[in-house]
Structure 1
Amino acid sequence: MPPLRHRLLILVTAVLLLAGLGTGMVLHAAARADRANQPRSGGPAVGTGRLTLDQKDRLTFVNAAAGPHRTAVAAVPAGDPGGGRIASNLKCARFYAAAGTGVCLQSNPGVLKQSNRALLLDVDLRTRRTFPLAGAPSRARVSPSGRFAAWTVFVSGESYASAYFSTRTSILDTRTMRLTPSLETFSIVRDGKAYHASDINFWGVTFASDDDTFYATLNTGNRTYLVRGSLSRRTVTTLIQNVECPSLSPDGTRVAFKKRVLAGATLWREYVLDLSTLHETALAERHSVDDQATWLDNKTVAYALPTEGKVAGSDLWSVPADGTGTPRLLIAGASSPAPL
């Protein structure tokens, strides 16, 4: 048997070797994790910086590019949307902002169940109030004045394509903090008559500039309708069928929307509806658009499409609102656009 001193030396050497091996494994794992959090080669440059909702000529969005800032609210110059983006510390599943007011819908996995909530944000992206959500985030909007915020969640099912789904749409007065938990409490007028049904769902609110009028989708009897609503009268009135996820133009004259082009299939085309004539114009985008579009200005509509070759991921595209032209890539790795 070796002397005690030799045995101690062997033991110490073995411990040091094991410690070195363990440290090497930890560093290797950390390096792999760090590489996984880096943008893809040739991907967008994402940096951190101060992002506020009163910055002019900026386009905000949820960053979908790979890296540590994935799902963070970010911004680019409106005139250079393909340039480097500045990311905030705020992470959202859906986001929208107007007039210095923002709304962020978050979905956080939990031990027993998923936690969903809506954050009402001030101009510095600080949380003013938090509201629990009844389901998974789907749509978010803020009125042009910033007074009202709306959000839609899936209470059951994961999308409009599910065999069975139920949505809940809420509207918040950001001045009084009065929350309307569900638009289903509003009175419905369909074809000039009061309408009641047990299968009513609303989604995709968009606000006019008068802080009273809004538009949304009503689903009932396996049909979808564009409805015009009044917040003060708590009523909605149907206008036209086969309209989903409406988005009102800045001048208030038109609505961009997705139209189901094949009954029973999850295929939608993007259209623009003239509210004075109810004339529909098909836009140049030929892919199926499952999104609530955003008007960048009175001539251009932006929307998200899945990134090619990726199971999860989206890019923002834009197209002329008059049906001419061709779609162009606006921001790679992005969703939920909101022009400031």
Structure 2
Amino acid sequence: MTLQRRILILATAVVLLAAVGVLAVVRASSRAAEKDHTRPGGPSVSRGALSLAPGDGGRRIVFRTLAWGPHRDELATVAADAPQGARTTSGVSCLRFHAAAGTGICLQSDRSGIQEGYRAVVLDAHLEQVSAYPLGGLPTRARVSPGGHLAAWTVFVGGDSYAGTNFSTRTSVLDLRTGRLDASLEDFTILKDGKPYRSADVNFWGVTFAADERTFYATLATGGRTHLVRGDLGERTVTTLRENAECPSLSPDGTRVVFKKRVPGLPAEVPWRLYALDLASGAETPLAEERSVDDQVVWSDDGTVVYALPGDFGADLYAVAADGGGAPARLMDSALAPAFLG
């Protein structure tokens, strides 16, 4: 090959590489120039300021947006009285999220190592990282206590669905006041039917905290059955309250728990219905949502719960009265893991 031909080939390669680079820049610029890439008729999404501080910006919802486009999976916010309105995103991506009293917990992918993993990130009111903890499985549940002093998360360490029985979970609780991390609720003393209980098949998931920043409720699974349990962080105990209750969520006034309950006769892959439990009387009330809900509901106020159901772009949010009345209503499209703030 002559020197002239080598030079020609090299020059051609340089031109082609330059063209590819220009094309990439043009495409990136085009994407950046467009405010939104959501589907036609979908919500408007744009980058802006987002705060978890109480009262900062009025009553609002912070959630993981699933709207298709460059901001998908980021934390976003809308006004609580206009849930279908324009979304402001933060640039912080979470798989699961919850927040209260200026504290957030974000379960997210961790690509810092050779293999992709997951981590739990504690966020301050400005979405800045306070601390981070590696996770040993797939993120599935997250909760912050009403006062913002406690955070809990659950991961699948075996399996990836609550519908069957072939799965294993690990649930951790972090006290932000002391920095103490209880890596697994399985280390707590279990009181089942009034007696100490131990078993190799114990699993916990779905923590919800009381306002005293010490008491919590959760799901305990063992022997093929699930139980609603009340926990005490000071005593490091959990006590069974009743069977067939999963993913509890405590009302703001602390009087009721809404949970998902397996109903006989329903298909194995969609076995649940939502129920409200009055903690004082023990009375259960089925909610008006007749579809199977595989989620830990969030209370938007003292009378309404919000939950996710499968949607075109992953999940949509619905709301229903917690007293069994009314009818479920779609709250937001393409959204997951809401927290009501302000």
| TM-score normalised according to structure 1 size | 0.89
With over 3 angstroms needed to count, the CA separation of the structure-2 counterparts of 1:172 and 1:285, relative to structure 1, is same
**1:265 has 2:268 as partner:** yes
Cα separation, 1, equivalents of 2:51 and 2:224: 42
Please list every run of 5 or more consecutive structure 1 residues that lacks an aligned counterpart in the other structure.
1-6
Whether the 8 Å CA contact 2:217–2:231 is kept in 1: the answer is: yes
- Separation of aligned partners in 2, 1:236 and 1:22: 61
1:50 matched to 2:52? The reply is no
* One-letter amino acid of the structure 2 residue matched with residue 288 of structure 1: S
Count of aligned residue pairs for this structure pair: 332
Which structure 2 residue ranges, 5 or more long, are not aligned? Answer: none
Larger radius of gyration: 1
**Match of 1:278, as an amino acid?**
G
RMSD: 2.8
Is the 1:71–1:92 Cα contact (8 Å) retained in structure 2? yes
Equivalent-residue separation in structure 2 for 1:286 and 1:205 (angstroms): 24
Paired amino acid for 1:40: R
Q: Tell me the alpha carbon deviations over residues 108-162 of structure 1, each in whole angstroms, 9 at most, x when there is no partner.
A: 4688533110001111110000111111101000000111100000111112135
The C-alpha deviation readout for 1:9-66, integer Å capped at 9, x for no partner, is x99998899679757865787699789x710011001121111111230111111111
Aligned counterpart, 2:308: 304
Match of 2:194 among 192, 195, 211: 192
Q: Which residue pairs with 2:99 in the alignment? A: 97
Partner of 1:4: none
Number of the residue aligned with 1:286: 290
Separation in 1, partners of 2:108, 2:122: 11
Say yes or no: does 1:244 pair with 2:246: yes
Provide TM-score, normalisation by structure 2: 0.89
Amino acid at match of 1:96: H
CA shift at 1:72, angstroms?
Answer: 0.6
Worse-superposed segment, 20-29 or 268-277: 20-29
Q: What is the identity percentage for the equivalent residue pairs of Structure 1 and Structure 2?
A: 53
What is the SS of the residue equivalent to 2:240?
strand
CA contact (8 A) 1:53 1:100 kept: yes
Question: 1:231 Cα shift?
Answer: 0.5
Give the match for residue 327 of structure 2: 326
Give the conservation status (yes or no) of the 8 Å contact 2:164–2:268. Answer: no
Q: 1:113 & 1:22 partners in 2: Cα distance?
A: 30
Q: Secondary structure at the match of 1:251?
A: coil
Q: Tell me what 2:183 maps to.
A: 181
**Deviation (angstroms), 1:206:** 0.2
- Whether 1:224 and 2:226 are equivalent positions in the alignment is yes
Would you say the 8 A contact 2:256–2:277 is kept in 1?
yes
Amino acid at match of 2:238: V
Helix, strand or coil: the match of 1:169? strand
Q: How does 1:1-340 map to 2 (within 5 A)?
A: 26=24, 38-54=37-53, 55=56, 56-108=58-110, 113-162=115-164, 164-262=166-264, 265-266=268-269, 267-307=271-311, 310=312, 313-340=314-341
Q: Is the 8 A contact 2:165 2:224 kept in 1?
A: no
Q: Name the SS of the counterpart of 1:184 in structure 2.
A: helix
- Contact 1:53-1:125 at 8 Å conserved across structures: yes
